[in-house]
A and B are shown apart, each in its own frame.
Chain A
Amino acid sequence: MTPEDLPIRNATYRLFAEHGRAPTVDEVAVATGEGSDVVRAAWRRLQDGRALVLDGDGRLLMANPFSGVETPHRVEAAGRTWYANCGWDAFGIGVVLRADSTIHTTCADCGDAIDLDVRGYRPTDPDPLFHVLVPARDWWSDIGFT
């Protein structure tokens, strides 16, 4: 990741929040005035710098806390439906949007729905638990699993 990549990274995040979905390379190119090849190369460097995650075809998969694809962690916030990469990211969506949210996820044990209202960045139901499988030093070794 280079300093020149940051405007592309920041435009990518801004467009994600504005559109409620992952922007394409071409959309970021238009927004930044750069060529698509420039954006594509910047995204690869940003991925190397752990600033976002691409899929095998170079499309945006994760701009944490946002997920570019549907996941089991659905979040209602700011009048839209979003998808998060994990429970931690699900709480992050309301934070980055500066909005109250409702998180719809499932219990990893029984599969039953867990619906969490989040007001002022805090859950109204404090009872559910969050379990982190992977030690912090390994979080980026396999970010999809983490």
Chain B
Amino acid sequence: MLVFRSEDHLTRWLTGRPAGATIPVSKLAELAEAWWWDRLDPDWQPHTREQNQAILDRLGLTGDFWRLG
């Protein structure tokens, strides 16, 4: 999971490499807020796969690449 300064930098880095999925850091921030929000809750319970998939789906991170195993 890598951070790039801009589209130009990402395009250059991907040359000759298989591409994964790219999102802006603003979307990453939304994902982090939903994914990590409860980690320090004193009564934390593990997320189910379905709960985590629902987070991805809600943020529009859909398709085979974003399908949890």
Chain B hits for A114, CB < 8 A: 3, 5
Contact A92:B9 (CB < 8 A) given known A114-B3, A130-B23, A130-B24: no
Contact-residue size bin, chain B (C-beta under 8 Å from the other chain): 35 or more
Contact-residue size bin, chain A (C-beta under 8 Å from the other chain): 35 or more
Contact (Cβ within 8 A) A6 B1: no
Contact (Cβ within 8 A) B3 A107: yes
In the complex, which residue of chain A has the Cβ closest to the Cβ of B14? A131
Contact (Cβ within 8 A) A131 B1: yes
What is the minimal beta-carbon distance from B37 to any residue of chain A, in angstroms? 6
Asked if B16 is at the interface (CB within 8 A of a chain A CB), the reply is: no
Q: B-contacting residues of A (Cβ < 8 Å)? A: 1, 6, 9-10, 13-14, 17, 49, 51, 64-65, 86-89, 91-92, 95-97, 105-110, 112, 114, 116, 118, 121-123, 125-140, 146
Q: A-contacting residues of B (Cβ < 8 Å)? A: 1-7, 9-10, 12-14, 19-33, 35-37, 39-40, 42-46, 56, 64-69
